């Protein structure tokens, strides 16, 4: 319990295997709370969690807010659309205002890579990166790892394909780092234009052929195909992408029976995944959503409530 | 984590030294036997009785009580475990441990709950447990069984079933294991 100090969570990069395992182990405790008749514990009473989303989101934001409330923390939420940002207020001003209202943790999503890191430099509050541009989305990787571990027992030795727009995906970056750190073998499957310009230093293999890879997999992880990629000329047409990389019923039949199908959401049914496949018995997409709350409870608790620093200053003598 | 382990874990990192064995393994068995009889007597049987062992030291006590109760009455009452770490008033001062599982699969509405713990001291753990249990339903009654009551209460909480009343100094440590109950101190 000593390796993660109370500090911001900005990326999977820089975390150790034992940091990740500690969070995953602790998540079981919070998962159990979610199944109680009254799914709430007083652990973070009086703490305030602020969500600052400069980019739209459904599940990340809702799951952070749900997680905070289940721990009895107060929540404050900032959305770019409804704020003074449109009047020209800067990100830094926004952060200072929210900090002045007493936020202990800022959960930040921003379309530019590195924003969470910058905000962390400005503020005394702790920062959780909830997605920064094409950089990282660490809590998504943690909940993915947790979901896979829950279904498979361990990630060690699993063969996982991440399929789709790897180049622009912060989920893929965080997932590759977390999955490989936990001992999985990762293969990236995408057309050449949607792979990152350089994969140097990434412990992964690549393939352009989904059909060849599918029968060998333990996990097929599909990414969302953004429509703007077509306008950028990275794929010729949606139809061609669907023909080559969409997981349809026919392709899903070649995936081993005990394999898992994941997607970070929101899914484009009929594009990267056929509707029937999304509700296949091997699909764990909704588990990912519900595990997201448990993982974020564990992260918030580790940052705010575990108080490792407190242990040293408070005398435990005479306590039982 | 039982107190002995906790005081030996960094950053405290002392060593528990036992000075006196207060109860041996046989004494513990006899005490459990008596407490089990008291539970049956007080509740006129075991209808709707649920045993909840507090993580981690109380789980063993709950298991021993369940075993004794099933010998007495022929049926064993439902049993659960509860980790109160997230309900404590000193949260942040003790670790939340993944291995301390909360597992309550029985419906607690209308149940007579017997909380089992190893040592009753300030009463703060029990306060947290009462708080936590009420999130699982509305029990008819909650009773408390402890192996050792060592005094020094800081809250208006009293046990219903006691293995041994043991006057202690506040600096002493009571360790309960299947082998016996030891009274000791922590050496740095």
Instruction: Write down the pLDDT at residue B11.
Output: 64
- Which residues does chain B have within 8 Å of residue A33's beta carbon, measured at their own beta carbons? 86, 102
- In tens, the pLDDT along A106-134 reads 999 999 999 999 999 999 999 999 999 99
- In tens, the pLDDT along B111-163 reads 999 999 999 999 999 999 999 999 999 999 999 999 999 999 999 999 999 99
Instruction: Write down the pLDDT at residue A306.
Output: 64
For residue B16, is it within any domain? no
**Nearest Cα to Cα of residue B54 among B85, B91, B81:** B81
Mean pLDDT along residues A22-37: 93
SS3 call for A159:
strand
Contact A29 B98 (CB under 8 A): yes
Inter-residue contact A92 to A122 (CB < 8 Å): yes
The token pair that represents A94 in the structure block: 């926004």
A246 vs B: CB within 8 A: no
State the nearest Cα–Cα gap between B125 and chain A, in angstroms: 7
* pLDDT for A198 beyond 70: yes
Contact A41 B132 (CB under 8 A): yes
Instruction: Write down the pLDDT at residue A134.
Output: 92
Contact B93 A311 (CB under 8 A): yes
- Higher pLDDT: A209 or A199? It is A209
Mean pLDDT along residues A254-277: 94
DSSP string, A21-45: HHHHHHHHHHHHHHTSSS----TTT
Contact A312 B7 (CB under 8 A): no
Instruction: Write down the pLDDT at residue A228.
Output: 73
- What are the start-end ranges of the H helices in chain A? 17-34, 59-70, 91-100, 115-122, 138-152, 170-181, 210-213, 228-231, 238-245, 249-252, 275-278, 285-300, 308-313
* pLDDT for A315 beyond 70: no
**Nearest Cα to Cα of residue B33 among B161, B152, B125:** B161
Q: How far is CA A158 from CA A140, A203, A260, A314, in A?
A: 19, 14, 11, 44
Contact B92 A36 (CB under 8 A): no
CATH number at residue B153: 3.40.50.2020
* pLDDT for A276 beyond 90: yes
- Which residues does chain B have within 8 Å of residue A306's beta carbon, measured at their own beta carbons? 92, 95-96
Residue in A29, A311, A318 nearest the CB of B11: A311
Spatial distance between the Cα atoms of A266 and A230, rounded to a whole number of angstroms: 18
State the nearest Cα–Cα gap between A171 and chain B, in angstroms: 27
List Cβ neighbours of A251 (8 Å cut-off, separation of 6 or more): A210, A211, A214
Reported confidence tier of residue A27, pLDDT bands at 50, 70, 90 = very high
Print the domain residue range for B118.
25-175
Question: Which chain A residue is nearest to residue B172, measuring alpha carbons?
Answer: A318
How many A×B Cβ pairs under 8 Å?
Answer: 81
Instruction: Write down the pLDDT at residue A80.
Output: 77
Question: Which chain A residue is nearest to residue B105, measuring alpha carbons?
Answer: A36
**Strand-pair category, B15-24 with B180-187:** antiparallel
Residue in B10, B12, B135 nearest the CB of A40: B135
For residue B130, is it within any domain? yes
Count of the separate structural domains present in chain B: 1
Contact A33 B122 (CB under 8 A): no
A319 vs B: CB within 8 A: yes
Inter-residue contact A64 to A49 (CB < 8 Å): yes
Which residues are paired to B80 by β-bridges?
A: B52
DSSP string, B4-43: HHHHHSTTT--EEEEEEEEEEHHHHHHHHHHHHHHHHHHT
Q: Which domains does chain A have, with CATH numbers?
A: 17-137+290-313 (3.40.50.1370), 138-288 (3.40.50.1370)
Contact B12 A316 (CB under 8 A): yes
For residue B182, is it within any domain? no
Strand order, beta sheet including B15-24: B15-24, B180-187, B173-177
The token pair that represents B136 in the structure block: 């699982």
State the nearest Cα–Cα gap between A225 and chain B, in angstroms: 37
Mean pLDDT of chain A: 89
* Residue ranges of chain B whose pLDDT lies below 70: 1, 10-12, 93
Counting every residue, how long is chain B? 188
Spatial distance between the Cα atoms of B22 and B147, rounded to a whole number of angstroms: 12
Contact A305 B91 (CB under 8 A): yes
Mean pLDDT along residues A160-164: 97
Inter-residue contact A193 to A241 (CB < 8 Å): no
Angle between helix axes A170-181 and A17-34 (nearest 10 degrees) is 110
């Amino acid at each position: 319990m000593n390796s993660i100090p109370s500090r911001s969570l900005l990326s999977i990069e820089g975390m150790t295997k034992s940091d990740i395992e500690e969070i995953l182990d602790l998540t079981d405790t919070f998962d159990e709370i979610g199944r109680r008749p009254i799914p709430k514990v007083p652990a973070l009473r009086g703490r305030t969690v602020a969500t600052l989303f400069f980019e739209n989101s459904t599940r990340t934001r809702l799951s952070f807010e749900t997680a905070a409330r289940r721990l009895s923390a107060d929540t404050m939420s900032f959305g770019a659309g409804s704020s003074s940002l449109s009047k020209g207020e800067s990100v830094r001003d926004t952060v200072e205002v929210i900090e002045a209202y007493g936020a202990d943790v800022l959960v930040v999503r921003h379309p530019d890579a590195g924003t969470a890191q910058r905000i962390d430099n400005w503020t005394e509050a702790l920062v959780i990166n909830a997605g920064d541009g094409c950089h990282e989305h660490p809590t998504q990787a943690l909940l993915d790892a947790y979901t896979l571990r829950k279904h498979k027992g361990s990630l060690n030795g699993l063969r996982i394909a991440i399929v789709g727009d790897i180049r622009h995906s912060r989920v893929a970056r965080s997932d590759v780092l977390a999955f490989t750190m936990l001992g999985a073998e990762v293969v990236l499957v995408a057309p050449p234009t949607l792979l990152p310009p350089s994969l140097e230093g990434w412990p992964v293999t690549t393939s352009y052929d989904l059909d060849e890879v599918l029968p060998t997999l333990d996990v097929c992880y599909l990414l969302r195909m953004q429509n703007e990629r077509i306008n950028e000329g990275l794929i010729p047409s949606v139809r061609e992408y669907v023909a080559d990389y969409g997981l349809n019923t026919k392709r899903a039949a070649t995936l081993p029976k005990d394999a898992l199908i994941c997607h970070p959401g929101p899914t484009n049914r009929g594009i990267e995944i056929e509707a029937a496949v999304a509700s296949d018995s091997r699909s764990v997409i909704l588990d990912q959503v519900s595990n997201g709350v448990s993982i974020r409870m564990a992260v918030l608790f580790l940052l705010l409530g575990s108080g490792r620093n407190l242990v040293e200053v408070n005398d435990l003598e005479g306590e039982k | 984590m039982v107190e002995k382990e906790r005081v030996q874990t960094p950053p405290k990192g002392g060593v528990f030294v036992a000075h006196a064995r207060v109860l041996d393994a046989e004494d513990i068995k006899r005490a459990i036997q008596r407490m089990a009889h008291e539970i049956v007597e007080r509740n006129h049987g075991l209808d709707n009785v649920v045993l909840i062992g507090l993580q981690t030291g109380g789980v063993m006590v709950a298991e021993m009580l369940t075993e004794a109760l099933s010998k007495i009455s022929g049926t064993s009452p439902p049993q659960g475990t509860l980790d109160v770490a997230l309900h404590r008033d000193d949260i942040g001062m003790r670790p939340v441990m993944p291995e301390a599982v909360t597992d309550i699969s029985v419906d607690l509405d209308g149940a007579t709950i017997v909380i089992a713990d190893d040592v009753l001291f300030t009463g703060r753990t029990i306060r947290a447990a009462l708080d936590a249990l009420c999130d699982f339903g509305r029990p008819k009654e909650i009773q408390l069984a402890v192996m050792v009551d060592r005094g020094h209460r800081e809250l208006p909480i009293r046990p219903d079933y006691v293995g041994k009343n043991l006057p202690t100094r506040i600096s002493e440590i009571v360790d309960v294991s299947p082998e016996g109950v030891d009274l000791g101190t922590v050496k740095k």
